[in-house]
Amino acid sequence: MMNRLVIIGVGLIGGSLALALKAAGKVNVVVGTGRNEDNLKLAESLGIVDEWTTDAREAVKDADVVVLAVPMGAYESVLATIGPVLKQGAIVTDAGSTKQYALTAAQVLPEGVHFVAGHPLAGTEKSGAGAAFDSLYQDHLCILTAGKDTNEDALAVVEQMWQDVGAKVLKMDAKEHDDLLASVSHLPHFAAFALVNAVRHQKTDTFDPFAFAAGGFRDFTRIASSSPTMWRDIAIANRQAMLKQLENFQVELNAMKQALENEDADYLLQQFSSAKNARDEWLRSKGQGEEP
C-alpha cells in the first residue's frame, strides 16, 4: 500500500496510473500537480486525484512516490524544482519514452532520493485527464531501466506498482530500450506526421486531398493526433537512435522508389509480401487475428 502518491502531469498516462492504483486499493492519497488548473479540477471531479495544486514543490514535500508524466523537455526543470523539498527515501519515477535521457536528467536529485526510470508501453492518441481510464496498463509491458546507481529497494517498489495495475514488467539496459523504441514507436510517429504533412502540402484552393481520405489513411495516421510537444521532446531526447532509424527507413523507401521507376513488379511484390508476413506473424504472436 502506497500512502502518498504524487502525479506530475495528470493526463492519460499519469491519470490512468492513479485510477488503476485506486481501483486496485494500492494507494491512500493521490495528489495531482501541473500548470493547467482546469485539467487538475477535472481530474479531481473524475476521482483521479484526491488533492491538487499548481505548486509542484508543495505537492511533493510529503510524497512517498512521485511519478513524472510530463513531456521529456520538462524533466530537467521539474526535477530541479522538486529535488530540494523531497523527503529522504522518496522515490521518483517516470513514464517517458527515452530512458538514457531520463537517467541523466535525474542526476540533479539530491542524495537519499531515489530515481527509477520506467516506460509503460501503453497509450492512445488522446491526452488530458479526461482521457484517463483504469485499465490502460492491463497486460501491457512496462520497461524499467535501472542505472548503476539505482536503489534496489526503490526498484522493487516501482516494479510492484506497475504489477499492481496489471502491467508485465521487463527490465533492460537504457540504451537497448532507446534503440528498440526508436524503431517500433518513435519512427512510426515520424512516418505518420510526415505522411499527413505530405498530403497537406498538396492542398490547393480548388483541391483538398483530405476529402478523399478513407479508413486506410485514418488508421495509418491515427498517431499523428498525438501531442506534438511530447513527440518533439522524445525525438530530440532520442536523437541518435532516431537518426539511425530514419536512415534505415529511407533505405527502404529509396529501394521501393527505384523499383517503381524500373517497373520492377517482382521486387515490389516481394517487399510487400515480406512486410505482410512479418506483420501477420507479429499479430499471431500477440493472439490477434490477421487483418486485411
Instruction: Give percent of the chain with pLDDT exceeding 90.
Output: 93
Assess whether 232 and 161 both reside in one domain.
Answer: no
Assess whether 118 and 197 both reside in one domain.
Answer: no
pLDDT digits (tens, 9 = 90+) for 70-118: 999 999 999 999 999 999 999 999 999 999 999 999 999 999 999 999 9
The mean per-residue pLDDT over the stretch 62-71 comes to: 96
The mean per-residue pLDDT over the stretch 142-146 comes to: 97
pLDDT digits (tens, 9 = 90+) for 125-138: 888 999 999 999 99
Position 49 in a domain? yes
Cα(196)–Cα(219) distance, rounded to whole angstroms? 12
- DSSP letter at 113 equals -
Tracing cell 523539498 back to the chain, one arrives at 85
The mean per-residue pLDDT over the stretch 159-164 comes to: 98
- Let me know: does 102 contact 72? Beta carbons within 8 Å: yes
Cα(85)–Cα(83) distance, rounded to whole angstroms? 6
pLDDT of residue 95: 96
pLDDT band at 290 (very low <50, low <70, confident <90, very high): low
116 bridge partner residues: 93
Check whether 288 has a pLDDT greater than 80.
Answer: no
pLDDT of residue 284: 93
Instruction: Give percent of the chain with pLDDT exceeding 70.
Output: 99
pLDDT band at 124 (very low <50, low <70, confident <90, very high): confident
Assess whether 146 and 198 both reside in one domain.
Answer: no
Position 273 in a domain? no
Check whether 251 has a pLDDT greater than 60.
Answer: yes
Check whether 174 has a pLDDT greater than 60.
Answer: yes
Check whether 60 has a pLDDT greater than 90.
Answer: yes
Total number of domains constituting the chain: 2
Check whether 291 has a pLDDT greater than 60.
Answer: no
The mean per-residue pLDDT over the stretch 212-219 comes to: 94
Please state the pTM of the whole predicted model.
0.88
Assess whether 135 and 200 both reside in one domain.
Answer: no
- DSSP letter at 211 equals G
Position 280 in a domain? no
Residue 31 sits in a domain of what CATH number?
Answer: 3.40.50.720
Cα(67)–Cα(10) distance, rounded to whole angstroms? 10
Check whether 22 has a pLDDT greater than 60.
Answer: yes
Assess whether 93 and 165 both reside in one domain.
Answer: yes
Assess whether 163 and 211 both reside in one domain.
Answer: no
Q: Are strands 118-120 and 141-144 parallel, antiparallel or unpaired?
A: antiparallel
28 phi and psi angles, rounded to 5 deg: -85, -55
The mean per-residue pLDDT over the stretch 150-154 comes to: 96
Q: Which three cell numbers stand for residue 63?
A: 510524497
Average pLDDT, the chain: 95
Assess whether 56 and 188 both reside in one domain.
Answer: no
Assess whether 203 and 73 both reside in one domain.
Answer: no
pLDDT of residue 1: 86
Assess whether 117 and 192 both reside in one domain.
Answer: no
221 phi and psi angles, rounded to 5 deg: -100, 10
Position 292 in a domain? no
Domain end, chosen from 172, 203, 236, is at 172
pLDDT of residue 287: 79
For residue 216, what are the domain limits?
A: 175-261
pLDDT of residue 289: 59
